[in-house]
Amino acid sequence: MKFLQGEAPEISYQKARTAILPVPYERTTSFEGGTARGPQAAIAVSPYLETYDEELDVEIWKAGIFTLPALNFGEDVQKDFDLITRSVLKLIEDQKFVVAIGGEHSISYPLFRAFHQKFPDISVLQLDAHADLRESYQGTPFSHASVMKRIFDLNQNLVQLGIRALSIEEREFIKQKNIKTVFAHQMYENWPDDILTHLSETVYLTIDVDFFDPALMPGTGTPEPGGFFWPETLKFLKTLFKTKNVVGMDVVELRPLAETRHSEYTVARLIYKLIGYKFFLNR
């Protein structure tokens, strides 16, 4: 199925400026499983979105959105990660704005590897409840709980927002490496608008949906109370897209629930809105 299927005209891959890449990868989920069903769930509810955006006064689909087939995974982490990186390299070469939907957070590492190869001066903005900076977790360095450490090993220009669950070792690491981490409790006092100045011009954005409050986003693997809501988050992301060149992004850790579909709907809405910010804001 395609994003906005039946609600927006079909467009060819060649003409599209945005490529949605479903990455239903799940191997190391620690608390509650089900993130492999995330991409399909978000795409399945997307036809219920209003295609017109009143804030941007445009039908965002006009940016040209093409949905790729979901990637297929096997048993081997390295092969699976190579497949992700290769797929994204091709999309970057074809000059697409890449929006990957997860899947567990581990996928951000092979996704980012491709951007790191193509954009040497890239920086990373992470919205997340968890620092994800463990060297390894449950015996693997490729866990969702280690993903930002893998990314940091490649690229030290990292800004973290919304963090409210981490180990003392991760806290020490943040201090030692002077990582720009803004904790949730700090954001309750002051939303850190000036944090964007620490990013380079070219930005990779990774959004773990547990950044949001579980009231807004109950469908996630490891929910943490004290998260953030729609208005302040969107206001911040609008400034991001206005001031920086966001070349790719992922939205990860969506875990569809049986009882309610508002988590996947919110993810679909977020993706649509951010594509709008990418193409319809004057930078």
Q: 81 with 142: CB under 8 angstroms?
A: yes
The interface with Mn ion within residues 221-280 (CB under 5 A) comprises none
Nearer to Mn ion, 53 or 132 (CB): 132
Coil/strand/helix, residue 180:
strand
The interface with Mn ion within residues 91-130 (CB under 5 A) comprises 105, 128, 130
Q: 228 with 187: CB under 8 angstroms?
A: yes
Nearest distance from C-beta of residue 105 to Mn ion, angstroms:
4
Nearest distance from C-beta of residue 209 to Mn ion, angstroms:
9
Q: Exposure string (b/e) for 89-121, b if CB count within 10 Å is 16 or more? A: eebbeeebbbbbbbbbbbbbbbbbbbbbeebee
Nearer to Mn ion, 66 or 137 (CB): 137
The interface with Mn ion within residues 173-232 (CB under 5 A) comprises 208
- Nearest residue to Mn ion by CB is 208
How many residues at the interface with Mn ion, by CB under 5 A?
Answer: 5
Nearest distance from C-beta of residue 221 to Mn ion, angstroms:
9
Q: How crowded is residue 5: how many other Cβ atoms within 10 Å of its Cβ?
A: 13
Report how far apart, in Å, the C-alpha atoms of 270 and of each of 19, 52, 53, 82 are: 15, 14, 12, 27
The binding site for Mn(2+) consists of 105, 128, 130, 132, 208, 210
Interface residues with Mn ion (CB under 5 A)? 105, 128, 130, 132, 208
